[in-house]
Chain A
Amino acid sequence: MLKAQLQKARSASARSSFVLDVAIEIPSGITIVFGPSGAGKSTLLDCIAGLLKPDGGRIEIGGEALLDVAQRIDVPPAKRKIAYVFQSLALFPHMTVEQNVAYGLADRPAPQRASRVKAMLEAFRVRQLAKRKAHEISGGEQQRVALARSLATSPRVLLLDEPLTALDEGLKKSIMEDLRGWNAAQNIPILYVTHSRAEVDALGERVIVLDQGKIISTGTPHEVLDAPRRSSLAQASGFENLFSGVVTELRESDGVMRVRLVKGACEIETPLGHAAVKTAVRLAIRAGDILLATERPYGLSARNVIAGKIIALEQRGTMFVAQVAADADHAVVFTVHLTLGAKRALELDINQPAWLVIKTHSCHVLED
Chain B
Amino acid sequence: MDSLILSMRLAACVSAILLLIGMPLAYWLAYWNWRGKFLLEAIVALPLVLPPTVLGFYVLIALGPHGPIGKLSESLFHRGLAFTFGGLVFASVLYSFPFTVQPLIASFETIDRRLLDASALLGASSLRTFAKVILPLSLPGIVTAVVLSFAHTLGEFGVVLMVGGNLPGVTRTASIDIYDHVQSMEYAEANRMALVLLIISFIVLSTVYGVNRRIGRRMWASWAAR
> How long is the Cα–Cα vector from A92 to B122 in the complex, in angstroms?
12
**How far in angstroms is the closest Cβ of chain A from B18?**
25
Given that A90-B112, A92-B133 are contacting pairs, would A78 and B117 also be in contact in the complex, using a CB cutoff of 8 Å?
A: no
Task: Please determine whether B114 and A90 come into contact, CB atoms closer than 8 angstroms.
Answer: yes
**How far in angstroms is the closest Cβ of chain A from B19?**
20
**How far in angstroms is the closest Cβ of chain A from B25?**
23
Cβ-based interface call for B191 (8 A): no
| Residues of chain B with a CB closer than 8 A to A323's CB | none
Task: Please determine whether A106 and B118 come into contact, CB atoms closer than 8 angstroms.
Answer: no
Given that A51-B117, A86-B117 are contacting pairs, would A94 and B123 also be in contact in the complex, using a CB cutoff of 8 Å?
A: no
Cβ-based interface call for A77 (8 A): yes
Cβ-based interface call for A344 (8 A): no
| Residues of chain B with a CB closer than 8 A to A79's CB | 123
| Residues of chain B with a CB closer than 8 A to A81's CB | 123
Q: How many residues of B contact A (CB 8 A)?
A: 17
| Residues of chain A with a CB closer than 8 A to B112's CB | 88, 90
Task: Please determine whether A92 and B121 come into contact, CB atoms closer than 8 angstroms.
Answer: no
Place the interface of chain A in its size category: 20 to 34
In the complex, per-residue mask of A74-96: 1 if CB is within 8 Å of any chain B CB, else 0: 00111111111010101011100
* Chain A residue with the shortest CB-CB distance to B126: A78
Task: Please determine whether B123 and A106 come into contact, CB atoms closer than 8 angstroms.
Answer: yes
Partner of A94, one of B120, B125, B137: B137
| Residues of chain A with a CB closer than 8 A to B136's CB | 94
**How far in angstroms is the closest Cβ of chain A from B141?**
14
Task: Please determine whether B114 and A77 come into contact, CB atoms closer than 8 angstroms.
Answer: no
Cβ-based interface call for B203 (8 A): no
Cβ-based interface call for A103 (8 A): yes
Partner of A153, one of B117, B119, B122, B128: B122
Task: Please determine whether A78 and B114 come into contact, CB atoms closer than 8 angstroms.
Answer: no
Cβ-based interface call for B221 (8 A): no
| Residues of chain A with a CB closer than 8 A to B123's CB | 78-79, 81, 104, 106-107, 153
| Residues of chain A with a CB closer than 8 A to B133's CB | 92
- Number of cross-chain contacts by CB at 8 Å: 57
Cβ-based interface call for A149 (8 A): yes
Cβ-based interface call for B40 (8 A): no
* Chain A residue with the shortest CB-CB distance to B125: A78
| Residues of chain B with a CB closer than 8 A to A94's CB | 136-137
> How long is the Cα–Cα vector from A79 to B115 in the complex, in angstroms?
17
Task: Please determine whether B120 and A77 come into contact, CB atoms closer than 8 angstroms.
Answer: yes
Task: Please determine whether B117 and A149 come into contact, CB atoms closer than 8 angstroms.
Answer: no
Given that A86-B118, A90-B117 are contacting pairs, would A78 and B124 also be in contact in the complex, using a CB cutoff of 8 Å?
A: yes
Task: Please determine whether A84 and B115 come into contact, CB atoms closer than 8 angstroms.
Answer: no
Interface centre among A78, A79, A84, A107 (most CB of B within 10 A): A78
> How long is the Cα–Cα vector from A49 to B117 in the complex, in angstroms?
10
| Residues of chain B with a CB closer than 8 A to A82's CB | 121
> Could you tell me which A residues sit within 8 Å of B by CB distance?
49, 51, 76-84, 86, 88, 90, 92-94, 103-104, 106-107, 149-150, 153
Known: A51-B120, A51-B121, A88-B114; 15 extra A-B contacts, CB below 8 A, are: A49-B121, A77-B120, A78-B123, A78-B124, A78-B125, A82-B121, A83-B121, A84-B117, A86-B117, A92-B115, A92-B118, A94-B137, A106-B123, A106-B128, A150-B122
